[in-house]
Amino acid sequence: MTRRIPQVGAPDPELDTSPIFDEDEEISFDRELESGACRFNGVTFRVGDYVLSGSELLHCEERGVWIRRGELHEPEDVGT
């Protein structure tokens, strides 16, 4: 089964968005901020979900952070 990756747009500084890191960036976690889900512009996503912010592919990872996974220039489907 495939599903469409949601297009979430650019992060809005007025809305709650989980931290976004590059794949190779060292991540320092604040235990008080850790979460079992990611947020993007106030919307909650599960660990393992992908979203598109413009053409940037983001993956929700453990501890509730987004990791940049590259760019997509066409709408894509992701296998589940």
pTM for the structure as a whole: 0.80
Size (the chain), residues: 80
The mean pLDDT value for 20-35 works out to 72
Predicted confidence (pLDDT) at residue 79 exceeds the cutoff of 80: no
pLDDT at residue 63, rounded to an integer: 86
Mapping DSSP onto H, E and C, the string for the chain reads CEEECCECCCCCCCCCCCCEECCCCCCCCCHHHCCCEEEECCEEEECCCEEEECCEEEEEECCCEEEEEEECCCCCEEEC
pLDDT at residue 78, rounded to an integer: 54
Predicted confidence (pLDDT) at residue 5 exceeds the cutoff of 90: yes
**pLDDT tens-digit profile of 29-69?**
665 556 789 999 999 999 999 999 999 999 999 889 999 99
